[in-house]
């Protein structure tokens, strides 16, 4: 880390934009800079990486819901829920919002390839105070032989030049897609480094070309024969003096042109000729740049696991195809959300155990958009309809239908119940007020003589 004049007491505020303007970010800097530092710098300077990180954080943390269940795993424990909410309130008071902690976890995963955090308890070890989110780049592993598990990886850090092992219950390191035989995760943003650096270097070179040749320049020529006739005799004594005199004339003209105001007129003698402006770069000169930049954009999208629409790119795909792309993208984000959910559930459950409460915490992130809630509702409706079909056909009992369709152990009333008068699977709707239990019938007679479900009977 960059430290100020007071050693480890003051952390210097990152100033990537000034580092860029001061010329510190050049080819030699790229050669010397570690990958982790380069990712940090590009997350502030690269439009592609900064946009991908922005979308990644907002879409992986659209909101959350936390519940603390008792021993049965289904009923919310009031004391445990109050304790969890109090801990969240302490985090909100410390950071301004718990989202700061969550975003640090996801930034670590995106730029470093791992979720890394520590649950901080008080001196008595009875009250959770904080969830620390250190940089996982400073965590290392070495191999040890466990008497039961065999060879295992133990995490450690160098503290004062000495290895400090961190295999503690309050510390969790969850890698993202580690390779077989390796404890380290792989950063999702790392494959984009080559493309981003290449694109930024290309744009830097194009800026120089446009600055040099992108505007019309004055083309002034001098008649050397006429100038030589005006040369004073003392300047013609030798070639050196002659060249010095011609250079002084040329410098004088350049200085005069540079000092002209927009409304000034350049008045000159006949030995100076004003030609047509030259040097403008036209479309033919940069015709291949658009295709090259488009290729780099596609490579950056693939490397950053993002979507064209998030980068403001319209690829002209159909709505159905766009929905498929979005679903694939969201599934990738949900896979990382599951890792974060598991870590946060572990920490909050451990915090309750430290207070002497036996409860299990469930942390769930919200859906990224309302359409996901609509799909969930439609899926739930189909599941309930299928359970009702099976019950009507006599394939399952009413309690089994309640468990399959509504995740309830038992129905609200014991069997029998008749549904044929109110249940219309195709079209129509069910009026809950019209549902009446019929003690005199077990199931609706909706099975034909072959023993199969009679859908027409259900519709009537």
334-to-78, 114, 328, 420 alpha-carbon distances in Å: 29, 15, 10, 40
Do 125 and 354 meet the contact criterion of CB atoms below 8 Å apart?
yes
pLDDT value of residue 327: 84
Do 401 and 413 meet the contact criterion of CB atoms below 8 Å apart?
no
Closest of 273, 268, 221, 224 to residue 246, by C-alpha: 224
pLDDT value of residue 214: 66
172-to-61, 117, 337, 456 alpha-carbon distances in Å: 20, 6, 16, 58
Rounded to the nearest 5 percent, the helix, strand and coil shares of the chain are 50, 15, 35
The token pair that represents 361 in the structure block: 């915490």
Domains of the chain by residue range: 3-189+333-365, 217-278, 370-459
Closest of 419, 348, 432 to residue 389, by C-alpha: 419
**Dihedral, 70, 73, 75, 76 alpha carbons, nearest 10:** 60
Closest of 232, 237, 264 to residue 248, by C-alpha: 232
- Per-position DSSP letters for 353-416, written without gaps between them: HHTT---EEEEEEPPSSHHHHHHHHHHHHHHHHHHHHHHHHTSS-HHHHHHHHH--SS-SSPSP
pTM of the predicted protein model: 0.69
pLDDT value of residue 56: 94
pLDDT value of residue 124: 93
pLDDT value of residue 216: 72
Mean pLDDT by 10 residues, the chain (460 residues): 45 63 58 82 88 93 93 91 96 95 96 96 94 94 91 91 92 95 93 87 79 73 81 81 86 84 80 75 68 86 87 72 83 94 96 94 84 75 90 87 86 68 48 41 44 48
Do 66 and 88 meet the contact criterion of CB atoms below 8 Å apart?
yes
């Amino acid at each position: 880390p960059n430290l100020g004049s007071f050693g480890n007491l003051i952390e210097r505020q990152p100033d990537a934009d000034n580092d860029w303007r001061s010329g510190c970010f050049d080819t030699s800097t790229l050669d010397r800079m570690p990958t982790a530092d380069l990712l940090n710098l590009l997350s502030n300077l690269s439009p592609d990486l900064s946009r991908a990180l922005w979308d990644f954080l907002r879409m992986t943390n659209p909101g959350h819901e936390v519940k603390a269940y008792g021993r049965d795993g289904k009923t919310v424990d009031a004391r445990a829920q109050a304790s969890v909410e109090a801990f969240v309130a302490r985090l909100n008071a410390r950071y301004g919002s718990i989202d700061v902690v969550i975003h640090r976890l996801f930034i670590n995963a995106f730029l470093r390839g791992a979720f890394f955090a520590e649950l901080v308890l008080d001196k008595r070890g009875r009250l959770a105070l904080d969830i620390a989110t250190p940089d996982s780049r400073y965590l290392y592993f070495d191999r040890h032989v466990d008497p039961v598990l065999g060879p295992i990886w133990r995490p450690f850090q160098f503290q004062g030049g000495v290895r400090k092992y961190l295999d503690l219950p309050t510390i969790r390191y969850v890698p993202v897609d580690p390779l077989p035989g390796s404890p380290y995760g792989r950063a999702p943003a790392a494959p984009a480094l080559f493309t981003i650096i290449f694109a930024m270097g290309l744009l830097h070179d194009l800026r120089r070309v446009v600055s040099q040749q992108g505007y019309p320049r004055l083309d002034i020529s001098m008649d050397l024969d006429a100038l030589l006739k005006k040369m004073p005799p003392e300047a013609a004594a030798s070639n050196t003096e002659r060249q010095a005199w011609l250079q002084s004339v040329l410098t004088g003209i350049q200085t005069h042109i540079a000092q002209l105001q927009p409304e000034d007129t350049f008045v000159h003698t006949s030995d100076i000729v004003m030609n047509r402006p030259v040097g403008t770069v036209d479309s033919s000169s940069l015709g291949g740049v658009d295709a090259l930049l488009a290729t780099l954009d596609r490579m950056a999208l693939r490397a950053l696991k993002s979507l064209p629409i998030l980068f403001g790119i319209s690829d002209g795909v159909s709505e159905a195809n766009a929905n498929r792309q979005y679903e694939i993208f969201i599934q990738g984000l949900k896979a990382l959300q599951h890792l974060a959910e598991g870590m946060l559930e572990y920490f909050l459950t451990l915090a309750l155990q430290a207070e002497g409460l036996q409860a299990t915490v469930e942390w769930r992130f919200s859906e990224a958009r309302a359409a996901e809630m609509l799909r969930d509702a439609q899926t739930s409706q189909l599941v309930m309809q299928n359970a009702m079909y099976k019950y009507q056909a006599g394939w399952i009992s009413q309690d089994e239908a309640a468990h399959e369709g509504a995740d309830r152990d038992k129905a609200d009333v014991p069997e029998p119940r008749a549904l044929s008068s109110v249940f219309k699977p195709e079209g129509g709707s069910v009026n809950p007020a019209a549902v009446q239990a019929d003690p005199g019938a077990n199931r609706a007679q909706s099975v034909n003589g072959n023993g199969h479900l009679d859908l027409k009977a259900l519709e009537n």
